[in-house]
A = this chain, B = another copy of it.
Amino acid sequence: MELDLAQPVGALTAQLVDVPSVSREEKPLADLVEGALRAVPHLAVDRDGDAVVARTRLGRAERVVLAGHLDTVPIADNLPSRLDEDGLLWGCGTTDMKAGVAVQLKLAAELAAPNRDVTYVFYDAEEIAAEFNGLRRLAEHHPDWLAGDFAVLLEPTANRVDGGCQGTLRVRVQTTGRRAHSARSWLGENAIHKAAPILTRLAEYTPRRVEIDGLVYPEGLNAVLIEGGHAGNVIPDSCAVTVNYRFSPDQSEDEALERVRGIFEGFEVVLTDSAPGALPGLSHPAAAAFVAAVGTPPAAKEAWTDVARFAALGVPAVNYGPGDPTLAHTREENVAVAAVEQSEATLRRWLTA
């Protein structure tokens, strides 16, 4: 079987959906994508594992990146795909994100002379633990393949531009005490009681709301876990609150950590994990042109997404793609073919106008 890049984008989406590609089982689909792109004369094609990168080499002043992942969450008894009478295509991966991949493939095949050089990135293992993420691997092995002035990730956003993303870090805020039998509690020192100010400061904290490029990033500082105590008759000698800070991309990871340390001054604060945010970068000419082409107001992206990987490489990035994001990972996943066509038309206008 080969991918037919000449068929309409809705039919191409269905063909992609019907090649199962659960995370770490992307090889058959990656092989098809690579084969189809190598047949396109105006593209230079590279491959790393099950990631495929295709580039125009026209020497344009700007280069933009269109990226999407090939993998899906596990199939929920919803394959093969099915197109209903209302023009909805149902099945695993329809909205997240084979519709976006179909748009990438159509543009890659058909835009022989875009107004900007374009890099098309197709990668593996986005839906599972970060250590397997194909975009992360590409950034390590071949950062030059990802170079560009601006990137669009075609994750489902209902064709809205979602700019940048929050950063996230987690710390353990800890107290220590001294164990004792609870019948003689005055011999001990209660570490859970000592955690009272940690919770009070969290409860009283007013999160920042930061505006960047016209987008508002609301922060969040939350206890996500609390653990303390040993047995029903023992004064506990340790208590730990795991706090998750979702921070606006105006702060680096280090700045965000300093802010958290300040909030919990007087307590032991141990960083457990951290990922940077991403600025929306909408002031870049290529980004501004893109927002104009979409024609609807952009919004701030709340969750951490792979746009932060581009940001870390110095490439401002946004999410923009067909499909309802709230249907992702559900058994009822579907995408309207009209929305896929709209997305294709918008990107084509941006890259040819």
Contact = CB atoms under 8 A, between A and B. Distances in A.
Nearest to A231: B224
Interface residues of A, number: 46
A240 to B, nearest CB: 10
Contact of A190 (B170, B192, B218, B223): B223
The complex is assembled from copies of this chain, and their number is 2
Interface stretch (A199-207, A282-290, A337-345): A199-207
A273 B182 CA distance: 15
A72 interface: no
Q: Is the interface of A mostly helix, strand, loop or mixed?
A: mixed
Nearest to A221: B185
A157 B304 CA distance: 62
A168 B218 CA distance: 47
A230 B224 CA distance: 7
Contact of A183 (B168, B193, B225): B168
A327 to B, nearest CB: 16
A228 B223 contact: yes
Contacts of A244: 182, 232-233
A184 interface: yes
B229 A183 contact: no
B246 A192 contact: no
Interface string A238-257: 01011010100000000000
A218 B186 contact: yes
B182 A246 contact: yes
A163 interface: no
Given A225-B232, A227-B226, A193 B182 contact: no
A83 interface: no
From A184, A218, A226, residue with most partner B Cβ within 10 Å: A226
A227 to B, nearest CB: 7
B242 A229 contact: yes
Contact of A224 (B202, B222, B232, B241): B232
A235 interface: yes
Contacts of A302: 183-184
Nearest to A205: B193
A336 B346 CA distance: 94
Contacts of A246: 182-183, 185
Interface string A280-305: 00000000000000000000001110
A222 B183 contact: no
A68 interface: no
Nearest to A193: B203
6 contacts: A170-B232, A184-B220, A186-B220, A193-B199, A193-B203, A225-B230
Given A185-B222, A195-B199, A224-B233, 14 more contacts: A184-B220, A184-B302, A184-B303, A190-B202, A190-B203, A192-B202, A192-B223, A200-B200, A224-B234, A225-B229, A225-B230, A226-B229, A227-B227, A233-B244
